[in-house]
Amino acid sequence: MCDFKDKNELDVVKYILEKLKVLTNEKEFKEFMVILEEFSTLRDLKPTLKEAEMLLLDRVKYEDLPSYEIGLEKGMEKGIEKGIEKGIEKGILGLYKYEKNINLIAKELGVNKEKVLYVLEKNGIKVKNG
């Protein structure tokens, strides 16, 4: 992406997207979109590109873009990680109600003692002599 001089950034980006859609086949379009997204990040135009993509939403199949798939996969991974983390925290708190042995809780949940102590302290539970 070049210097737009006095032209509106959004107009230029929309023009580029429209031309890409007309001049390329689906495979080429996907490849150019990845490049365009990379350039937009380097030029601090990510919000502008996002806005242009939203305006052309009816003409662009986002689900088919590699960056969409990558973002979706990463989002799912993060969601799973957060879910596992929440589950471990609930497990620690639940087990602590019945079992005060920190080492046993850690062993049962497959985490280290420090993790158990951190979760308990984070939830306002003071543990003496860990």
Q: Is residue 44 part of a domain?
A: yes
Evaluate if pTM is beyond 0.85: no
Higher pLDDT, 37 or 118: 118
Q: Are 54 and 84 in contact (CB under 8 A)?
A: no
For residues 87 and 118, membership in a common domain is answered with: yes
Higher pLDDT, 2 or 113: 113
Q: Is residue 56 part of a domain?
A: yes
Per-residue pLDDT, 50: 76
Number of domains in the chain: 2
Residue-number span of the structural domain to which 24 is assigned: 9-64
Instruction: Quickly count: other Cβ atoms within 10 Å of residue 124's Cβ.
Output: 6
Higher pLDDT, 112 or 33: 112
pLDDT digits (tens, 9 = 90+) for 19-78: 888 888 878 877 887 787 777 777 777 777 777 777 665 666 667 777 778 888 889 999
Alpha helices (runs of H) in 43-101, residue ranges in sequence order: 46-55, 66-98
DSSP state of 7: S
Query: Residue 51 and residue 14: Cα distance in Å, rounded?
Result: 9
pLDDT digits (tens, 9 = 90+) for 78-107: 999 999 999 999 999 999 999 889 999 999
For residues 56 and 94, membership in a common domain is answered with: no
For residues 60 and 94, membership in a common domain is answered with: no
